[in-house]
Amino acid sequence: MTMISGNIQKAIAILNQNDLIAIPTETVYGLAGNIYSEAAISKIFAMKNRPLFNPLIVHIHHISQLEQLTRYIPDKALVLAKAFWPGAMTLVLKKNSQVPDLITAGKDSVAIRMPNHPVALALLEQLRFPLAAPSANPFGCISPTKAIHVEEYFGDTLRMVLDGGDCESGVESTIVGFEGDEPILYRLGAISVEDIAAVVGSVNIKNKEETTPDAPGMLLKHYAPLTTTHLTTDLNESIKSFAHQKIGLLLFSKKIDDPQIVHQEILSENNDLKEAATYLYAAMHRLDKLNLDVIIAERVPDIGLGKTINDRLERATKK
């Protein structure tokens, strides 16, 4: 059994042995290892079954560590780091020679963030190295937002989940890279486009696979339940089209009245998109365990974090 524990000293000991643990962050749980250990990093890719072309995010605890990892920092990158760190803002910057190629999938840039979670920060402060930490799930599956989700995925193959409670943001970080000195948004995430624009002005968004050779790994199908999942703007119509099947619903704020429905998950009774993001993956995990024929997910309003939720739902429902 995986040990689920809050013991930071134990976590440090395992990481110092070039082994992996899962760590809590405010976005999702990460599968973490020493960025300078080839053994640890190889194990991250192997355990997740993650393709080697998909680079990893480096987690730091202080803005000064940027200097040890990068060779050029655009002004707006610093502005974003100061505005949103610690937080769900990942910056893609020119790497320096210290950063192993395995981390960056051979690219000349490295993705970095400072997580906003007291346990993750306490851990990072006590280590002599930053941590690479992609989400602690097999490649393509729903991300874990609770320690127990990680245990369900990895069981005996992972020694420890450092317990930090349920993830507060519940969706992955927003990824921002640069073309010249101008920010480009590569992945919608837990910090909204609107919040970023308020700090650095409007940013271009390139989060679709065909437009993002610069952000490998933004695959069309991702974050997916095993159950067939269907995304809709017209619930009644979609329910009709799955007549006589066992249906589960993933809804934004209101239940519906229909005896055919086996189970309904409501993301936010208060119509709050931030709250909906927090509970999105946990709701998907629950629905996926019910042996349904189909999950029908309702598109949420396309503003603020609603854009991120819709992005994840689109990827979850791609064939």
Question: To which residue do tokens 């970080």 refer?
Answer: 173
> 159-198 mask for ligand AMP (x: CB under 6 A)?
-------------x--x-x--------xx-----------
User: Given the DSSP bridges, would you call strands 229-232 and 294-298 parallel, antiparallel or unpaired?
Assistant: parallel
Among ligand AMP, Mg ion, none, partner that 117 touches (CB below 5 to 8 angstroms by kind) = none
Spatial CA neighbour of 99 closest among 44, 57, 49, 52: 57
Q: At what angle do helices 118-126 and 8-16 cross, to 10 degrees?
A: 50
Should residue 169 be labelled a site residue for Mg ion when binding is judged by CB under 5 A?
A: no
Least distance from C-beta 177 to ligand AMP, angstroms? 6
Could you please report the per-residue DSSP string of 170-223? -SPPEEEEEETTEEEEEE--SS-HHHHHHHH---EE--SGGG-TTSTT--SS-S
Q: List binders of ligand AMP among 200-219 (CB under 6 A).
A: 214-218
Spatial CA neighbour of 159 closest among 43, 286, 51: 43
Should residue 109 be labelled a site residue for ligand AMP when binding is judged by CB under 6 A?
A: yes
Q: List binders of Mg ion among 115-144 (CB under 5 A).
A: 135
Task: Show the CA angle centred on residue 280, arms to residues 278 and 286, nearest 5°.
Answer: 120
Q: List binders of ligand AMP among 31-70 (CB under 6 A).
A: 54-57
**Which residue, 124 or 292, has its beta carbon nearer to ligand AMP?**
124
Q: List binders of ligand AMP among 123-142 (CB under 6 A).
A: 134-135
User: Given the DSSP bridges, would you call strands 182-187 and 174-179 parallel, antiparallel or unpaired?
Assistant: antiparallel
> 251-290 mask for ligand AMP (x: CB under 6 A)?
----------------------------------------
Token pair listed for 245:
């099947």
Least distance from C-beta 294 to Mg ion, angstroms? 24
155 dihedral zone (left: phi>0; alpha: psi -120 to 50; beta): left
The contact set with ligand AMP (CB under 6 A) reads 54-57, 92, 104, 107, 109-111, 134-135, 172, 175, 177, 186-187, 214-218
The contact set with Mg ion (CB under 5 A) reads 135
